[in-house]
Amino acid sequence: MKISPLKLRKIEETLKDFKCLLVRYGEVKDNKELLREFCSRNRNPLWDITSIKYFDTGLKSKGLIEEGGNGVSDHYIQRMMSTEIIFKELNDTPDMSVSDFILLIKKYSSTVSLTKGEHKRITSLTKGKDIMNYVMYEEAGIEVDGLEEYIF
């Protein structure tokens, strides 16, 4: 699957923006509260970028397969948490290429499809906690075959 020229430009611009924000990231990375606020403020570009098929794993929960329909897209790593991971990686590799940035986004900000009920359950289980959605899938009774290939 290809990325359109418009979306590619958005990704390139986001990488440039994020690189400019590395100074601020360095100032807040060791302060949990400020880091959380920083990542919360800067997660929306990932939402804009990952709304295309390229960042959809194509994986569906067993519940959605049984129920049928389109389901709801779920970031198996919440955007705020993936933003933190991405900034850490960028901080470690400040000259990161667009291609490497795209791979990073694909690894940490892609989506799976869940039923509406599963999405509600996982959201309530992880809200306000420092735990990634996919870690809680089992506790929420959500099975997504093949997800381990994306996470590990």
Report, as an integer, the average pLDDT of 121-140. 91
Q: What is the mean pLDDT of residues 50-61?
A: 91
Looking at every residue in the chain, the average pLDDT score rounds to 93
Residue 138: CB atoms within 10 Å: 10
If one counts every other C-beta atom within 10 angstroms of the C-beta of residue 141, the result is 13
Angle, CA of 26, 31 and 37, to the nearest 5°: 85
CB–CB of 116/135 below 8 Å?
no
Query: How far is residue 131's CA from residue 83's CA, in Å, rounded to a whole number?
Result: 14
- DSSP E strands in the chain: the ranges are 56-60, 72-75, 111-114
Ranges of each domain in the chain: 5-151
The pLDDT, as a whole number, for residue 8 is 94
pLDDT tens for residues 2-42?
A: 899 999 999 999 999 999 999 999 999 999 999 999 999 99
Task: Write down the pTM of the prediction.
Answer: 0.89
Which tens digits make up the pLDDT trace of 68-79? 888 999 999 998
Helix, strand and coil percent figures for the chain, each rounded to 5: 60, 10, 30
Task: Please tell me the predicted confidence (pLDDT) of residue 152.
Answer: 66
